[in-house]
Homo-oligomer: A and B are copies of this chain.
Amino acid sequence: MENLNNLFNPKSIAVVGASEEEGKVGNVIAKNILNLGYKGGVFLVNPKHEELLGQKCYKSLNEIETDVDLAIMVIPAKFVNPIIQEAAGKTKNYVVISAGFGEINEEGKKREEELNQIAADNNLNILGPNCLGFIIPQLQLNASFAGGMPEAGNIAFISQSGALAVAIMDVAKKEGLRFSSIVSVGNKMQLDESELLEYLDEDASTKVIGMYLEGIKDGRKFISVAQKIKKPIVILKAGKTERAQKAISSHTGALAGSDEIMTAVFEKTGVIRAENMDEFLGLLKLISSSNAPRNGEVIIVTNAGGLGVLTTDAFKNKKIKLAEIGEKTQGALRKFLPEESSVANPIDVLGDADEKRYGKTLETLKKEPAGTILCLLTPQDQTPARKIAGKIIKFKEKSEENIITVFMGGERVAKAVVTLRENNISNFFLADQAVVTLDKYFEWKRNKSKMVLPNWENHPERQRKASAIIEKAVAERRSALYFSEAAEIMGMYGIKTSNFWTAESLNQIEFPVVVKVDSDKVLHKTDKQGLILNIKNQNELQAAIEKIKSNFPGEKFIIQPMQKIQTELIIGVKYDDIFGPIIVFGLGGTYTEIFKMVDFLVPPVGQEEIKDKVLDSKIKFLFQETRGQMPYSASELADILGGLSFLTQELPQIKELDINPLLVYNDGKESVAVDIKIII
């Protein structure tokens, strides 16, 4: 942490590859650092010059007499590694602007690996390569080749796209966003999102961390870091669609990752996901200037009934909701508001409302326990927008509620909007964005406050026994376990499986039964007629066994009781390329693929987290009493999923696990795993 502080708050900087040629990156960066107000020492390095841009020019980093906290490399890729190697004893922090590393080809990849090794051997911090640099407005330090200096504020913005960072800086000026830092991460060779999160969480100037990401470099590290971050993290993650994921991999070579799993990870870690750029900018604006609301109740005050109604519409499917205004407050409002006003929420103070009416209404609402007041304004001819803004600012100064505004208009509200902004009140152009972002901010607070880091401990004895079963199958060159083996492992993790018989125990059978092929070579039994249902007697059984044997010569089979089917679930473990094992659970049966009622758990997960998730999952309706139907047991399912969470931690050699169906009952009968596929 100390180290990154020297990188982002350097007392001296060297620009290696500074240039006098207009428009060249080495020229732009040198001038950005020299001319925009940075107070530290600046050294230019270029072996071809004695003097550059009016100051002394050094042949190499080592030639500089004093310490250099940070070196910015703007030289062709092939020179980067040797120069850093040479200076590694003197300078510990580097920004490698140069492209020509992992993003281009195999040679570049090798170069990047070598550089990474140099960093590790010499205890260096390296941002990039292939990045835009960074900007710390408070230090008036623009160590990037983007022009200009954003306003200093409390938003840290990390971008995996340099061009997008430049566009956002331009938008930010217009929208009044102010930054503590802007960092372009480039190839994220060494410093990736996780290190930056840790650094920024401690950075006193930063209140909110916004990130544009195309991929996450180390999924497990990201999870464990993001869970511990106390500040709000807002991520705009590109790659929702397959097409976009393809575009990402051709664009930066990053792995975009499954979007659904990304969402599950963000939920688990309390990251706020922005669905698009509009939400991203809106969230940064809101969080930058407001505290998280103390509760989810919102009061709307408007001078246009229509806008009040549209804003109410925006609360559809949100966690925040319109507050009920108490009788007493309604009475107090009625005393001074015109007769045609509405004193129920949304409160309509009418089109001719002036600053006094707005002010008095706000004062009166102070006694209400709502967390947020959403103050709407349309600029009628007689509306004193600036004066009303003044009342709102005064109100904010001495109140515990959040207040955010939507002054909807153009020229007529422009000055009022600037006044609001200068006084740290988030104004939104349109009401929907205000509601969406407020909802997400509130949800973040709720998530973070109930977040418990799982207290985890493996059971070595169980791990040893289960591993032995898997090793045996591996030794026999099988890619899947037999049912009997899978059932044994399931038993160790508290998951009850269906009773079964094999060729050896035919005489103990209780009819009706089913016969199934049991082989690692036949994984989709129904498709390939490896499953015969509803066998009622020994004759039928013999015929069924013959059928299976002739369909799958040489394979084993098992016989199971014909189960009473009430509700079928599917549960399992998938291996994700970025985040490792992920637990999946959802509705099974005929239309599994169509309804896609599936949720994800990111292990390790504690029982509390699992139960919360189950009760908030797509199949939550099973656990509620609906129209005379008895509820299913959420804690039974949570226990099974808890067992799987242990399993993922103790048996990483399992590549895939599917229980399909898991039959569950609401009549007291215990749930049972009928078919189990374990791929090793």
Q: Which residues of A contact B (CB under 8 A)?
A: 23, 28, 104, 145-147, 159-164, 166-167, 170-175, 212, 214, 236, 238-241, 243-244, 247-248, 250-252, 276-278, 303-310, 312-316, 322, 340, 342, 344, 346, 348, 351, 378-382, 408-413, 430-433, 526-527, 590-591, 593-595, 621, 626-629
Residues on B with C-beta less than 8 A from A433 are 278
The one of B251, B312, B314 in contact with A309, judged by C-beta atoms closer than 8 angstroms, is B251
How far apart sit A145 and B346, CA to CA, in the bound complex (Å)? 25
Chain B residue numbers with a CB within 8 Å of A247 are: 305, 308-309, 312, 342, 344, 346
**Contact present for A252 and B305 (CB under 8 Å):** yes
Q: Complex formed: what's the CA distance from A175 to B381 in Å?
A: 20
Beta-carbon contact of A626 and B593 below 8 Å: yes
| Residue on B nearest A619 in the bound complex, by CB | B594
Give me the 7 closest cross-chain CB pairs, A-B, nearest first.
Answer: A161-B306, A163-B304, A174-B410, A167-B378, A251-B305, A170-B409, A244-B312
A51 to chain B, nearest CB (A): 25
Chain B contacts for A322, CB-based, 8 A: 243
With a cutoff of 8 Å between Cβ atoms, the chain B residues found around residue A591 in the complex are: 621
Q: How many copies does the complex hold?
A: 2
Cα–Cα, bound, A312→B348 (Å)? 41
Residue in chain B with minimal CB distance to A592: B627
A94 CA to B303 CA in the complex, in Å?
28
Q: Are A409 and B251 in contact (CB under 8 A)?
A: no
Residues from chain B with a CB closer than 8 A to the CB of A316 are 240-241
Tell me which residues across on chain B come within 8 A of A308, comparing CB atoms: 247, 251
A526 — nearest CB in chain B belongs to which residue? B628
Alpha-carbon distance A247/B315, docked complex (angstroms): 13
Option from B104, B312, B315, B409 in Cβ contact (under 8 Å) with A171 = B409
Assembled-state Cα–Cα distance A212/B313 (Å): 14
* CA A167 to CA B307, docked complex, whole Å: 10
Question: Is A161 within 8 A of B312, CB to CB?
Answer: no
Does more than half of chain A's interface fall in helix, strand or loop, or is it mixed? mixed
B-side contacts of A627, CB under 8 Å:
527, 593
**Given A171-B410, A240-B316, A304-B163: A276 and B309 interface contact (C-beta under 8 Å):** no
A167 and B408 CA atoms in complex are apart in Å by: 6
Task: Please tell me if the beta carbons of A408 and B351 are within 8 angstroms of each other in the complex.
Answer: no
Are B163 and A351 in contact, CB atoms less than 8 angstroms apart?
Answer: yes
B214, A304: Cβ atoms closer than 8 Å? no
Evaluate contact between B167 and A304: CB separation under 8 angstroms.
yes
Pick the contact of A163: B307, B413, B431 (CB < 8 A). B307
**Bound Cα distance A236, B117 (Å):** 59
Asked if residues B411 and A173 are in contact (CB atoms below 8 Å), the reply is yes
In Å, the complex CA distance between A408 and B626 comes to: 49
The CA-CA distance from A203 to B615 in the complex, in Å, is 56
Minimum CB–CB distance for A507 against chain B, Å: 32
Q: Are A277 and B430 in contact (CB under 8 A)?
A: yes
Task: Kindly state the separation between the CA atoms of A28 and B351 in the bound complex, as whole angstroms.
Answer: 15
Which residues on B sit within 8 Å (CB–CB) of A171? 408-410
> Once the chains bind, are B307 and A174 in contact (CB under 8 Å)?
no
| Docked pose: A430 CA to B214 CA in angstroms | 18
B167 touches A313 (CB 8 A): no
A172, A240, A309, A310 pick with most chain B CB within 10 angstroms: A309
Report B-chain residues with C-beta under 8 Å of the C-beta of A161: 304-307
Provide the bound-state CA to CA distance between A214 and B312, in Å: 13
Say whether B381 contacts A145, CB under 8 Å: yes
A315 to B242, CA, bound (A): 11
13 residue pairs of the A-B complex, CB under 8 angstroms, read A163-B303, A163-B305, A163-B306, A163-B307, A163-B378, A164-B304, A166-B379, A173-B411, A214-B309, A241-B315, A247-B308, A250-B344, A277-B430
Is there contact, CB below 8 Å, between B310 and A380?
A: no
Closest to A408 in B: B167
* Distance of A552 Cα from B41 Cα, bound (Å): 95
Q: How far is the CB of A528 from chain B (nearest CB, A)?
A: 10
Report B-chain residues with C-beta under 8 Å of the C-beta of A380: 146, 163, 166
The residues of B that contact A170 with a CB separation of less than 8 Å are 379, 409-413
Question: Residues of B contacting A409 with CB < 8 Å?
Answer: 167, 170-171
A134 to B355, CA, bound (A): 28
Most buried by B among A162, A306, A379, A430: A306
Instruction: Give the residues in chain B near A312, CB-CB below 8 Å.
Output: 241, 243-244, 247
**A170-B410, A238-B306 given as contacts; is B163 within 8 A of A251 (CB)?**
no
Report the minimum CB–CB distance from A231 to chain B (whole Å): 24
Extra inter-chain contacts (15) besides given A147-B381, A250-B344, CB under 8 Å? A161-B304, A161-B306, A163-B351, A167-B379, A167-B409, A170-B413, A175-B410, A214-B306, A238-B310, A238-B313, A244-B310, A247-B342, A252-B305, A276-B310, A277-B310
Q: Return the chain B residue nearest A382 by Cβ.
A: B23
Residue of B nearest to A621 (CB): B594
Nearest B-chain residue to A167, judged by Cβ = B378
Which chain B residues border A175 with CB–CB below 8 Å?
Answer: 410
Determine which of B239, B278, B346, B432 lies in contact with A432 in the assembled complex, contact meaning CB atoms within 8 Å: B278
A145 contacts across to B, CB distance below 8 A: 381
Given contacts A379-B170, A409-B171, contact A277 B163 (CB under 8 A): no
A314 / chain B contacts, CB cutoff of 8 Å: 276
Q: How far is the CA of A173 from the CA of B306 in the complex (A)?
A: 20
Q: Which of B23, B173, B239, B342 contacts A313 (CB 8 A)?
A: B239
- Bound: A679/B593 CA distance, A: 38
Asked if B250 and A342 sit within 8 Å, CB to CB, the answer is yes
In the complex the two chains form, what is the Cα distance from A214 to B308 in whole Å? Answer: 12
Give Cα A170 to B595, complex, Å.
Answer: 45
Using CB atoms, name the residue of chain B closest to A624. B594
Q: Which residues of B sit under 8 angstroms from A239, Cβ to Cβ?
A: 309, 313
**Pairwise interchain contact A628-B243, C-beta atoms closer than 8 A:** no
Task: Please name the residue on chain B nearest to A238 by beta carbon.
Answer: B309
Closest CB in chain B relative to A580 CB, distance in Å: 25
